[in-house]
Amino acid sequence: MKPRIAILTVGGIGSGYFSQGVPVLMELVEHLKHNYTLSVYSLTAPNKDFKPQGFRLKAVPLSYRVSFWLRACWFFILFIKDLFFYKPQLIHAFWGYPSGFLAVILKKIFRIPVIIHLQGGDSVGIPEIGYGIFQKNNRKAKITKWAYSKANELMCLTHFQKHTLEQNGIKKTPFVIPYGVDTHIFVAPNVEKNVSNSVKIIHVADLNPVKNQSMLLLAFQEILKHIPEASLTIIGLDTLEGKIQNLAKDLGVNKHIHFLGILPRKEIVEHLQKAHILLHTSFYEAQAVVVAEAMACKTVVCGSNVGLIADLNPLYTQSVAINDYKALAEKVLWLFQNPDVYRQLQEKGFEWTQKHDFRWTVEQIKSIYTSLIFKKLS
């Protein structure tokens, strides 16, 4: 019999545009279902047309407008009712709050080992933009710290995120396992990317305060002063109601920018393959999976010193301080003035993605599963 794993998540399975949910979470479930009997419990319902294949999906049907504790009660009923027929040997919770918190409560009641897999805002607090669980005087932060201390294991995505956890008083040492990419989907283009005056820059992220697209546009404005033929493609859901588009007009750079909105994953690959540089300007990232996706397409990555960019700087990526748009523009211009360095970054980044692909990620997670399940049985 396959080992039985319960996955607890806020959402991200079969939801959102194109029912692609959170792509890395969907992909992880698709890989794990071959070696484990998976039952996924979600606080958010999938799209009506989504049908899980090869795994079980139980979702709370209530809107997020409904009280959290009411949704949590429904969640517990789903899990406990299922427990008599499906007895999980391990709980893998995605996001520290609320999934990790709920998972630890289940651990206390049913003595099932728990992994909490941290994803982003569950590791940080940025008061300037109201982002993250670890805000000052935030009651959720205390609950979350308690859950982290009681979990059997923590997983995070980068050493940058691990350091952030330490800064927020988390004493438990997490496993650091970045998400690799599917190297059958994200592949290098057949044509070599020659550095020329027609510089193609890409940015892939939802338009929101955390991603700091103001820095992106200011850096691009500086780049245009030296490379007037440069273009910028921005892919992502606009949650700011046109604020970034209006800023582009105010800066006089809008004619050089293509706002494409949210696209299916396969179309994003095509744009990454055509681009010379990925600019990523976030205030914070636990990882930023698009960094690995870009490197797999031999697109050089420059951006804020956060997440995977921070971990891989300077051998694989190029980073600057948060909000330093002039330094970012200078970094891009320097790369185009030094094509040998540009090509070296291309090759080194590509090599990293081949060594740390999604299969590698899955194997790291499976080894932790095996260790915890063995401890429980012994």
Residue 316 confidence (pLDDT):
98
pTM: predicted TM-score of the whole model, two decimal places? 0.96
Give the CATH H-level superfamily of domain 4-180+358-377. Answer: Glycogen Phosphorylase B; (3.40.50.2000)
Half-sphere exposure of 152 (CA within 13 A, CB side): 21
Return the residue matching tokens 């976030």. Answer: 282
Residue 137 confidence (pLDDT):
83
- Structure token pair of residue 53: 């294949």
262, 237 contact by CB (below 8 A): yes
Q: List where CATH 3.40.50.2000 sits in the chain.
A: 4-180+358-377, 200-355
Q: Residue 186: helix, strand or coil by DSSP?
A: coil
Please list, in sequence order, all residues whose beta carbon lies within 8 angstroms of the beta carbon of residue 332, skipping any fewer than 6 positions away. Answer: 201, 219, 223, 277, 279, 302
Residue 196 confidence (pLDDT):
66
pLDDT digits (tens, 9 = 90+) for 159-188: 999 999 999 999 999 999 999 999 999 999
What would the mean pLDDT of 56-73 be, rounded to a whole number? 88
In this structure, whether the domain defined by 200-355 belongs to CATH 3.40.50.300 is answered with no
Please list, in sequence order, all residues whose beta carbon lies within 8 angstroms of the beta carbon of residue 106, skipping any fewer than 6 positions away. Answer: 76, 79, 91, 112, 114
pLDDT digits (tens, 9 = 90+) for 186-223: 999 988 887 766 799 999 999 999 999 999 999 999 99
pLDDT digits (tens, 9 = 90+) for 12-48: 999 988 888 999 999 999 999 999 999 999 999 999 9
What would the mean pLDDT of 271-290 be, rounded to a whole number? 97
What would the mean pLDDT of 316-325 be, rounded to a whole number? 98
Buried b (16+ CB within 10 A) or exposed e, 16-39: beeebbbbbbbbbbbbbbeebbbb
Residue 197 confidence (pLDDT):
60
CA–CA separation, 166 vs 182, rounded Å?
A: 31
